[in-house]
Amino acid sequence: MRKAKGWFLILMIFLLILSGCSKKEEFGTFKGQEGDWTLSIPTSFEIIKEERIEEQDMFITSFQDDKGKSFSITETLNSDREINEEVLLAELAVDEYVHVLRKEEIKLNDGTIIYGALAEDESIEYNLLYYKLKKDSKELTFIIYQKQPFSLEDEAQLKAMISTFKAS
């Protein structure tokens, strides 16, 4: 019995060592259009489209990874609108097929508050994480979406990514 416990312990240590050697995800830094803010984004996300909408003073950058996740950053310049939980929920309520499952706030060390929600869109059968913040006169919206529901690990990783927001 002691030998079995010993081998079991050795096996567990070996598995622990192997799990620590797993490939770590690499990150790159995405800079806002005017270079006044940054966000660390996994290098698995590749830019698939960049668009400027002149009449709304808005930039949209869309990313996609090889696992089916899409990520969109909308940067609205010269916004005089206040951003809070009510604004976030009102934007999501515009579409009757979008249902908010959970809402949250991320408070950064510099005092910035990022308002967020986990939602599902029944019309296109997508799940999304939707975040908004206001920094000076800029309104930023981060949307991550995919077909399958987000795992708790996915949510934690994506929330950590959004939490890397830094104003310059």
Q: Please, are residues 31 and 161 in contact by the beta-carbon 8 Å criterion?
A: no
pLDDT in tens, 41-92: 999 999 999 999 999 999 999 999 998 899 999 999 999 999 999 999 999 9
Q: 20 in a domain, yes or no? A: no
Q: 80 in a domain, yes or no? A: yes
Q: 19 in a domain, yes or no? A: no
CATH number at residue 161: 3.40.1000.10
Mean pLDDT for the chain? 88
Q: Please, are residues 94 and 62 in contact by the beta-carbon 8 Å criterion?
A: no
Going by their DSSP bridges, the two strands 37-42 and 27-31 should be labelled as antiparallel
**Strand ranges (E), the chain:** 27-31, 37-42, 46-53, 58-64, 70-76, 98-107, 113-121, 126-135, 138-146, 166-167
- Tally of structural domains, the chain: 1
Q: 121 in a domain, yes or no? A: yes
**Domain of residue 112, residue span:** 26-167
d(CA 132, CA 141): 4
pLDDT in tens, 138-153: 999 999 999 999 999 9
Two tokens at 28? 């790159």
